[in-house]
A and B are shown apart, each in its own frame.
Chain A
Amino acid sequence: MLFNISYTTLNFICFVFVTMLVYFLFPARKYKWTVLLAASVFFYAVAGYKYAFFILFTSLTTYLIALWIERVAAHSKKLLKEKKKEWDRDQKKRYKNKIKIQKRLIMTLALLINFGILAFLKYYGFFAGSLNDMLGSFGVSFSIPTLKLFLPLGISFYTFQSMGYIVDVYREKTEAQRNPFKLLLFVSFFPQIIQGPISIYDQLAHQLFEPHDFDFTRMKHGMELILWGFFKKLVIADRAYILIGAVEKDYAKFGGTTLTFTILLYALQLYADFSGGIDISRGVAQIFGIDMIDNFKRPYFSKSINEYWRRWHISLGGWLKNYLFYPVAMSNVFINAGKKMKNTRFGKTAAGAHVAKVLPTSVASLIVFLVVGVWHGADWKYVAFGVWNGVIIMVSILLQPLFDGAVDKLRISRKNPFFVGFQIFRTLLVVLVGYVFDVAPSFGEGMRTLSLFFTGQDFSKGMEEIGKLGLTVPDYIIILAGAVIILIASIIQERHLDTDIRTMLDRKPFMLRFLLLYLGIMTVVIFGIYGSGYNAADFVYMQF
């Protein structure tokens, strides 16, 4: 990094301000997008110039392969048109299949190249280490060399985003971009490069290329969203990380109470960190007139783990649903397996019919969550994280009729607030178990932590340990107050799904808005964790 241009620095604020000035004053309206491209290239060059080759390579291969796929498709359509009368139905079908395979092969080439780079850089060490361990346990002295590989900034995000575009071109849902620089902007747009959201080409690209004029309301809303992001990141997440970081450093020495408290705090820290970062990204984009998708919809209000994953990291969930879940669940193998089961004796029963019906989706869910786990990191603990979530979802899909029956028999209204509260609490517990594998340094430590939840609780020892982990009483008060503010904002937002809080705020008296925003800024200025006196944490998802 040439200098620190992370989202929570003054450098970044100045950078956005200068980019904004140039963008809105740029005389050639048609080419305003070039300002965003220049800013994105500058941002990437400053933040990760050593890795620029990788993003350029991905952009170039994506650009060329998308054009290739489109050319093949266009050529085949032209030929089919020409041979409309010459060829019979079978010939046309054979040709179409041939073209389909050709297009698929080209698409696979793009996926292999780019996911190959990602997999090699991110997982080589993991696989080499695991394989060496395995060989060692069999007494084989041969070992695969381990390499010191670096991970280019935002590689997972831009790889997923550009491969989504390739698949969309393959599916003919979108046209291939003819301007390589425009595609480079789509891949490297600076507000999303560090930690997403992973955008879909059709949703984002045209917004990037259209010229946007200065709009006061957009600017105000964008800045309010940035402020909200700063509040979550700097006041809450980075403060909570002081304790979490201290525990992570010496994880094995802590008892059950401390680890339980750490996991609870981690739930808050992770949400505040990731959603705060996304708010900053979206706020910056909004200033330029670009709406990026919301990555979070109050996930801790979810009543099931399925719903949780529709509210948490929505863009990753959406990507996996579009490009992994559906292709797997709708594949011939899975559909045929379901059909086969339906024709068995078990399949003829009510339970069997349900299982046969949902088997493809539930197994596909398990596969998707395995990928989610691996996406989070190259470690068995992340595999466990994925498997845990996948199994819970799979089981919940398979046993859904059983749960529904039980609720009906017990005559519980699904709108009963206590029942809703119970569902939310139950979901939160499942989520927290998954978080254990996030925080623990290894799979083994994660399992130990789970057992300590039940067998290792010692309140007084825990209090003593927690007291030495770097947070003071005022810090806890700030974290608690911050969590309450997030909770209140979430409840308000949950009750007004047709609008957002910023629009609601616009309708309040000027003095109230003035006061709220003033307090917001001063809270971040005074209570934020920033400056060289602090070792502010990187965004948690930046490492992906």
Chain B
Amino acid sequence: MKFQHYVTRTVKTSCFFLTVMVSCLLLQQYVLRNVDHNSLRVEGFYQEQRDSVDAVFIGASDIYTSFMPGRAYEKYGFTSYLLASESITSEGVITAVKEVVRTQHPNVIVIEANAFLYGDSDNEKNEAHIHKFFDNLPFSFNKLSYIQKNVPIEQKWEYFFPLIKYHGLWTEIPDRVNMMESNFSLDVRGYNVLKGFRTTAKVFKSDTPSFNEKITQEKGELDLDPKLEKNLLDLLAYSKEQNLNVIFVRAPHYVTDKTYDRVKRSNKMASFVKDYGFSYYAFENHADEIGIDDSRDFYNEDHMNVYGAIKFTDFLAEGLVETENMRIDPMNDSQKEMWDEVASTTNQLYRYCDDLMTNGEEKGAQEDVLTLSALENYSGDPIERK
């Protein structure tokens, strides 16, 4: 009798705590969570079948707005994913590379240089930028070691249980319904249909002159911030040690006098990268070859719109396949079906943005329910570049 009482009590108590834990996890995953394009992109990466992606692109917005995995697949036949996050830190890049090694073993890892080119290391401490990436990583040794090493002790719990940080978001639920739905539909679908690509439909018009022509002649170098340099060297050493096929790139930008120093730092970074025997492509210096039109192909100084992105994607994908001899693995029928949908959706997105820009409308376009439902009216047929 006493034993039965003990068992009943234990079962009831366990049920109670289990219900509380599950409720908290569901709240954390779907309701009280800061869902944005970064979370959908990073989460989508972990939904990819293990060892199924030929190339992974790592970096900040510079890469997820300029490379279109759907287009690369359609034209050059390789699969890719953008494991990127807004203003990702250099520590974030290192963790991303380690996570790629842990989960995908791609044939090539392409790293966009932005995180290492800041004039100081303030971005490394920018909580918003850190959270945008690390909140969305599943629990792993890599995440744990980042938290142990970098996060102040009083904030560590927030990285393990983001609910601690975001529980107050209940006040914003009405404004967040669409992103909550997008998060849920991503989980139901099981893959990110744009493979992380995001853009803004807008043509950048500026009175500030572009230095894009001038930089092609620029050979000068500027020292990297010491902390960022150390992180770069750590990353290079790790890549060498792991025998990774890593390529560093600098996506095209609308360079101005204010951002000119980054070009010089990019040159310095190229020296470091080459010293370790890796390739570094500063595409900022190849705008003409790519066919970038300063007056049409950017939506702001740092980001290309779909007109620029499609040109850059073609150029980079062709380079990867032909110059870098990237291996392309065969895929099964279900993967092919998914990637055909990715290509078709990317084409729809291009046409949707083209339409918006032609009509002078400005709008963000990404993996979310609002954008995806808007795409239904557009054709997914292959794009002929204008």
**A residues adjacent to B (C-beta < 8 A):** 3-4, 10-11, 216, 472, 474, 510, 514, 517-518, 521-522, 525-534
Q: A531-B167, A531-B168 are in contact. Are A525 and B27 (CB under 8 A)?
A: yes
Q: Which of B16, B127, B170 has most chain A Cβ within 10 Å?
A: B16
**Contact indicator per residue, chain B 1-22, by CB within 8 Å of chain A (1) or not (0):** 0000000010010001001100
Q: Which of A517, A529, A533 has most chain B Cβ within 10 Å?
A: A533
CB proximity of A3 to chain B, nearest CB, Å = 4
B19 x A527 contact (CB < 8 A): no
B32 within 8 A of partner (CB): yes
B165 within 8 A of partner (CB): yes
Q: A525-B27, A532-B155 are in contact. Are A518 and B16 (CB under 8 A)?
A: yes
A531 x B170 contact (CB < 8 A): no
Q: A474-B171, A526-B27, A532-B158 are in contact. Are A510 and B12 (CB under 8 A)?
A: yes
B168 x A472 contact (CB < 8 A): no
> Nearest CB to that of A517 among chain B residues?
B16
The residues of B that contact A518 with a CB separation of less than 8 Å are: 16, 19-20, 23
A532 x B165 contact (CB < 8 A): yes
| Measured CA separation A521–B22 after assembly (Å) | 13
B163 within 8 A of partner (CB): yes
B154 within 8 A of partner (CB): yes
A525 x B24 contact (CB < 8 A): yes
A530 x B9 contact (CB < 8 A): no
B167 x A525 contact (CB < 8 A): yes
B238 within 8 A of partner (CB): no
A526 x B167 contact (CB < 8 A): yes
> Nearest CB to that of A475 among chain B residues?
B171
CB proximity of B101 to chain A, nearest CB, Å = 31
Q: Which of B19, B20, B164 contacts A531 (CB 8 A)?
A: B164
B188 within 8 A of partner (CB): no
Q: Which of A10, A525, A527 has most chain B Cβ within 10 Å?
A: A525
B154 x A4 contact (CB < 8 A): yes
A522 x B23 contact (CB < 8 A): yes
The residues of A that contact B165 with a CB separation of less than 8 Å are: 531-533
> Nearest CB to that of B171 among chain A residues?
A474
CB proximity of B171 to chain A, nearest CB, Å = 6
Q: A474-B171, A531-B165, A531-B167 are in contact. Are A526 and B32 (CB under 8 A)?
A: yes
CB proximity of A150 to chain B, nearest CB, Å = 20
Q: Is the interface of B mostly helix, strand, loop or mixed?
A: helix
Q: Which of A10, A474, A517 contacts B164 (CB 8 A)?
A: A10
**B residues adjacent to A (C-beta < 8 A):** 9, 12, 16, 19-20, 23-24, 27, 32, 127, 153-155, 157-158, 161, 163-168, 170-171
The residues of B that contact A517 with a CB separation of less than 8 Å are: 16
CB proximity of A505 to chain B, nearest CB, Å = 14
The residues of A that contact B12 with a CB separation of less than 8 Å are: 510, 514
| Measured CA separation A472–B170 after assembly (Å) | 13
CB proximity of A448 to chain B, nearest CB, Å = 35
The residues of B that contact A527 with a CB separation of less than 8 Å are: 170
| Measured CA separation A528–B168 after assembly (Å) | 8
The residues of B that contact A10 with a CB separation of less than 8 Å are: 157, 161, 164
CB proximity of B342 to chain A, nearest CB, Å = 36
Q: A3-B153, A525-B27 are in contact. Are A534 and B168 (CB under 8 A)?
A: yes
The residues of B that contact A522 with a CB separation of less than 8 Å are: 20, 23
| Measured CA separation A530–B32 after assembly (Å) | 14
The residues of B that contact A3 with a CB separation of less than 8 Å are: 153-154
| Measured CA separation A530–B168 after assembly (Å) | 9
> Nearest CB to that of B9 among chain A residues?
A216
CB proximity of A341 to chain B, nearest CB, Å = 61
Could you name 8 residue pairs across A and B whose Cβ atoms are closer than 8 Å? Answer: A3-B153, A4-B153, A522-B23, A525-B167, A526-B167, A531-B164, A532-B127, A533-B168
> Nearest CB to that of B32 among chain A residues?
A526
Q: Which of A521, A530, A532 contacts B20 (CB 8 A)?
A: A521
B163 x A525 contact (CB < 8 A): yes
Q: Which of B19, B155, B170 contacts A526 (CB 8 A)?
A: B170
CB proximity of B15 to chain A, nearest CB, Å = 8
> Nearest CB to that of B161 among chain A residues?
A10
> Nearest CB to that of A527 among chain B residues?
B170
CB proximity of A308 to chain B, nearest CB, Å = 35
CB proximity of B163 to chain A, nearest CB, Å = 7
| Measured CA separation A472–B12 after assembly (Å) | 38
The residues of B that contact A11 with a CB separation of less than 8 Å are: 157
Given A4-B154, A11-B157, A517-B16, 5 further pairs, Cβ under 8 A? A10-B164, A527-B170, A531-B165, A532-B154, A533-B166
| Measured CA separation A474–B16 after assembly (Å) | 29
The residues of B that contact A472 with a CB separation of less than 8 Å are: 171
The residues of A that contact B127 with a CB separation of less than 8 Å are: 532
Q: A216-B9, A525-B24 are in contact. Are A530 and B16 (CB under 8 A)?
A: no
CB proximity of B140 to chain A, nearest CB, Å = 21
CB proximity of A471 to chain B, nearest CB, Å = 11
CB proximity of A140 to chain B, nearest CB, Å = 47
The residues of A that contact B155 with a CB separation of less than 8 Å are: 532
CB proximity of B153 to chain A, nearest CB, Å = 4
The residues of B that contact A4 with a CB separation of less than 8 Å are: 153-154
The residues of B that contact A510 with a CB separation of less than 8 Å are: 12
| Measured CA separation A1–B330 after assembly (Å) | 57
The residues of A that contact B171 with a CB separation of less than 8 Å are: 472, 474
| Measured CA separation A531–B163 after assembly (Å) | 9
| Measured CA separation A474–B167 after assembly (Å) | 14
CB proximity of A452 to chain B, nearest CB, Å = 32
A530 x B164 contact (CB < 8 A): yes
CB proximity of B131 to chain A, nearest CB, Å = 10
| Measured CA separation A474–B171 after assembly (Å) | 8
Q: Which of A216, A521, A528 contacts B167 (CB 8 A)?
A: A528
> Nearest CB to that of A521 among chain B residues?
B20
| Measured CA separation A44–B28 after assembly (Å) | 33
CB proximity of B242 to chain A, nearest CB, Å = 34
| Measured CA separation A529–B167 after assembly (Å) | 9
> Nearest CB to that of A532 among chain B residues?
B155
The residues of A that contact B32 with a CB separation of less than 8 Å are: 526
CB proximity of A215 to chain B, nearest CB, Å = 12
> Nearest CB to that of B163 among chain A residues?
A525
> Nearest CB to that of B160 among chain A residues?
A10
> Nearest CB to that of A472 among chain B residues?
B171
| Measured CA separation A93–B241 after assembly (Å) | 91
The residues of A that contact B23 with a CB separation of less than 8 Å are: 518, 522
CB proximity of A223 to chain B, nearest CB, Å = 10
| Measured CA separation A270–B127 after assembly (Å) | 33
Those 7 A-B pairs whose CB atoms lie nearest each other, nearest first: A531-B164, A3-B153, A10-B157, A4-B154, A531-B165, A521-B20, A532-B155
B16 x A531 contact (CB < 8 A): no
> Nearest CB to that of B168 among chain A residues?
A533
> Nearest CB to that of A473 among chain B residues?
B171
CB proximity of B17 to chain A, nearest CB, Å = 10
| Measured CA separation A407–B368 after assembly (Å) | 72
| Measured CA separation A525–B19 after assembly (Å) | 14
CB proximity of A488 to chain B, nearest CB, Å = 23
The residues of B that contact A530 with a CB separation of less than 8 Å are: 164, 167
CB proximity of A536 to chain B, nearest CB, Å = 11
| Measured CA separation A527–B32 after assembly (Å) | 11
> Nearest CB to that of B24 among chain A residues?
A525
The residues of A that contact B16 with a CB separation of less than 8 Å are: 514, 517-518
B158 x A531 contact (CB < 8 A): yes
| Measured CA separation A531–B155 after assembly (Å) | 8
The residues of A that contact B19 with a CB separation of less than 8 Å are: 514, 518
The residues of B that contact A216 with a CB separation of less than 8 Å are: 9
The residues of B that contact A514 with a CB separation of less than 8 Å are: 12, 16, 19
The residues of B that contact A532 with a CB separation of less than 8 Å are: 127, 154-155, 158, 165
